[in-house]
A and B are shown apart, each in its own frame.
Chain A
Amino acid sequence: MKFNEPTEQRIKDDKLYTEMGLTDAEYKHVVEILGREPNYTETGIFSVMWSEHCSYKHSKPFLGQFPTSGERVLMGPGEGAGVVDIGDNQAIVFKVESHNHPSAVEPYQGAATGVGGIIRDIVSMGARPIGLLNSLRFGELSEANNRWLLRGVVSGIGGYGNCIGIPTVSGEVEFDSSYDGNPLVNAMCVGVIDHDQIQKGTAKGVGNKVIYVGLKTGRDGIHGATFASEELSEESESKRPSVQIGDPFTGKKLMEATLDAINQPELVGIQDMGAAGLTSSSAEMAAKGESGMALYLDQVPVREDGISPYEMMLSETQERMLLVVKDGTEDKFLKMFDGYELDSAVIGEVTDSDRLELFYEGEKYADIPVQPLSDEAPVYVLEGKNPGVDDKTYDYSKEDLNAAFDALLSHPNHGSKRYIYEQYDNQVGSNTVQKSGFGSGIVRVEGTDKAIAMTVDGKSRYVYADPFNGGKEVVAQAFRDIISTGALPLAMTDCLNYGSPENPESYHQLDASTRGMAEACRTLSTPVVSGNVSLYNESKGTILPTPVIGMVGLIEDVRFMEDVQIQAGDSIYLVGETHKSFAGSQLEKLIDGDISKQERHIDLEIEYSRGMDLRDRLKNGGIKKIAPIGRGGIAIKLAQLAAFHHLGVDASLDMDGEDLFAENASRYIVIGAGGQDIEGAVEIGVLTEDAFKVASRDMTIERSLDAISNTWEGAIPKCMTSVD
């Protein structure tokens, strides 16, 4: 053999497979599948294919609960991304994906490659991306390391997205000490496609050629996929070489070339080389096509000499795609890629062997049956432990709630996110109707009056307080974001960020919250069409359970937004009843410093009917603005509204002062003409030219509009002044 690698015997005797992430039982199963001991390359292939990242071995049972079909769903989970009909032979393709662990180690590249990866997922379906979103979690910005991570992640997201030319139109971020050392970076991409252009990652037709296109393969991120499924430790610092480097310039060329290739009738299938690069793309395409595949790895374009088949199969070099094209047409594709100044090569062919066979200079380096490699990945059902409910009663009536208001408004969680989103090009493409700042992103579909509303949201403190009902609430929150634009919610994607499934409480959180999410998806008619799971998010402690929901909605005719402008004199309505709901609230975080486990409440039927009613009123022009109430409750939402629009507020509410900070579900602030009879609403005041005044039964918040604006604007910048 050309490459000096551990023998089958040594892999077995020294249990080298455990270093690659396979357990003893998994190794035994590999031996059964092969009927012999695996060699080094084969062991590596099984270890990445059976990693949590690729196989969802701990989360599969939970994902199975989600409703995945609906009248508009053209393609559910299973391919690179989900596809949903928007009429006129058009559809949208979208998915959210995590890049948490790589971002913790090297924030710029981790975030940049996260964005690049999700874009390729959308592009490989045949869709042109029209919008990017991101959901971020960091520890508090009082820590230098978290500031370093925020700077790096934001410039990485911008560095990739700005260069490739896709607008970043929405996002969300939360700062909480549970994310110290383990930030979350979830990136979402939305694309548009014609129905007849939808591609599948499949390899069919014996003799058809396998083409590699994109960056030359180097030794980047070897074992990155298994790295992503391990808990972070101090040692992770030393794993830096595992992080891949993004090249948005090549990514842009590859995107255009891929969209060109998809127009060619001779294209059989295409898949991006994401996690576990060549391994997962080739194995998955062969499995979906119920075919075999032979790859001649000495044909793979490489950056340096001497890269072994093992390294090649596990390399996570970015900006690469794998295509299967009709036999005899390969030169046409190679020539096309040459025109885009991309490296490409025929590296193999589809066979009828049902096996993935790898050759290098005539020698065989792997011979693995395709179906068991992807289908017989282990599935683990573990035992969760419900920690129960804490014994706690809430009474904030004696607290200085005026001071609490200032503290909350000046916290990065509630202040303006301008520091972040102004680093993202949010208008390239000239179709952005609503960009980051307040509410969902809205992007018009090129050449039509249709627009897509898109949001990403996650409320982890609620999920921690009550995983089941909190799970429902995260879906409902995204639903509220979408209806607030006047869009019809269509479908969603989810990114499940949790701690180690081997931790019984984390496992319980995963179990109960996904049950809650599934129920909400059914009641709110938002099926799950794609998703991603990130477990083992533990560094100094376990992160809050953070399911992040990406949701899209359809606005049939966006021109209704043209003349809508809120102004002084408009009335303010509070829609929905307020309860003393403080478990997981920001007031609880501020005053008590922790979260107690308490039951949270949400009525999904009311959520749905209220949301649809408000949406109709917005579309019909009866109301001008809908703002869902979230972190920090009514007081913070009114302050954000005032600061964002530079308008005063004069409101009076018949409730206790502490209730202004309560965070129960299904509530909105609505702006419109006064005197309207809106179901479940109370008219609480008016917008004014200046001054912010919100009165309750026992306390009043009174500030100048400038004070509100400056506090809100300065929340993040005041933390970022030092040079770390």
Chain B
Amino acid sequence: MKFAVIRFPGSNCDRDMLNAILKSGGEADYVDYRETSLEGYDGVLIPGGFSFGDYLRSGAMAAVAPVTKAIVEAAEAGKPVAGICNGFQILTEIGLLPGALIFNDTHTFISRDETLKVTNSRTAFTTGYQPDETVTFPIAHGEGHYYCDDETYDALKRNNQIVLKYTDNPNGSRGDIAGIINEAGNVLGMMPHPERALEALLGSDDGKKIFENMANWEAAHNEIQ
């Protein structure tokens, strides 16, 4: 599996994301946001950071960048597309995932280790985690409050699209939501940083499975059938 790690000006977790997928047995290249094709890539990773400085709204300008169309095509083709932190914000701005990320309730940036519950381990991204397993991933965001209207929230619940929940909601997210997938199950967006949770020495290695699943997408996909 070869992944495109999309680099926007202001992306700053791009190297972490690339390293994470390489360590998990995948292949990956950086792809500039000005590219218009993602041909040759089997999946897309949208890293964290402050694309375009988070100016106007986090993710807003990235969502209209030249590469966006190719990301949408990859998602529609069923390839794995994962957006972490700013990447999640971008995916909601593009419309590949429902809802929006707004300012944390504290209106401050929050950076700390957060305990999460894997609420759906029957996805290709999260297979291998036990149902309702608790994991520790760092969070680091200023706009991580997941917002959606009632209808969307009901649909998320109905379709089992909520994959990760905070156990001690840090930002005011609706329903403690930390991460969701699309209906088809191949687009993942999450505010916490699994790419920073790959080694016990750095605090947690709970994030490994997500990247291993992506690197072995077909096997992961078969597991949940």
Contact = CB atoms under 8 A, between A and B. Distances in A.
Interface of A: 155, 158-159, 162-165, 247-250, 252-253, 340-341, 421-433, 444, 558-559, 561-562
Given A163-B53, A427-B138, A249 B9 contact: yes
A165 B54 CA distance: 13
Given A163-B50, A559-B201, A561-B201, A249 B140 contact: no
Contact of A430 (B49, B109, B202): B202
A423 B111 contact: yes
Interface stretch (B74-82, B127-135, B192-200): B192-200
B16 A432 contact: no
Contacts of A561: 201
B200 A249 contact: no
A158 B141 CA distance: 11
Given A164-B12, A421-B111, A428-B140, 11 more contacts: A162-B142, A163-B50, A165-B13, A249-B53, A422-B110, A425-B111, A427-B196, A427-B202, A428-B13, A430-B20, A433-B201
Interface residue SS majority, chain B: mixed
A562 B200 contact: yes
Contact of B202 (A249, A252, A340, A433): A433
Contacts of B20: 430
Contacts of B19: 430
Interface residue SS majority, chain A: mixed
A247 B201 contact: no
B61 to A, nearest CB: 10
A610 B160 CA distance: 59
Interface residues of B, number: 31
A164 B10 CA distance: 7
B157 interface: no
Contact of A341 (B9, B13, B49, B142): B9
Contact of B9 (A253, A424, A426, A427): A253
A427 B140 contact: yes
A248 B53 CA distance: 7
Closest 9 CB pairs of A and B: A165-B12, A249-B53, A425-B140, A163-B50, A430-B16, A425-B111, A423-B109, A158-B109, A430-B196
Contacts of A159: 109
B78 to A, nearest CB: 29
Given A427-B202, A430-B19, A433-B201, A252 B111 contact: no
A429 B49 CA distance: 11
A587 B201 CA distance: 38
Given A430-B196, A430-B202, A559-B201, A249 B10 contact: yes
Contact of B111 (A163, A426, A431): A426
B28 to A, nearest CB: 15
A247 B202 contact: no
A155 B103 CA distance: 14
A422 B201 contact: no
A553 B183 CA distance: 50
Contact of A428 (B16, B54, B110, B142): B16
Nearest to A437: B112
Q: Which one of B138, B201, B203 has the greatest number of beta carbons of chain A within 10 Å?
A: B201
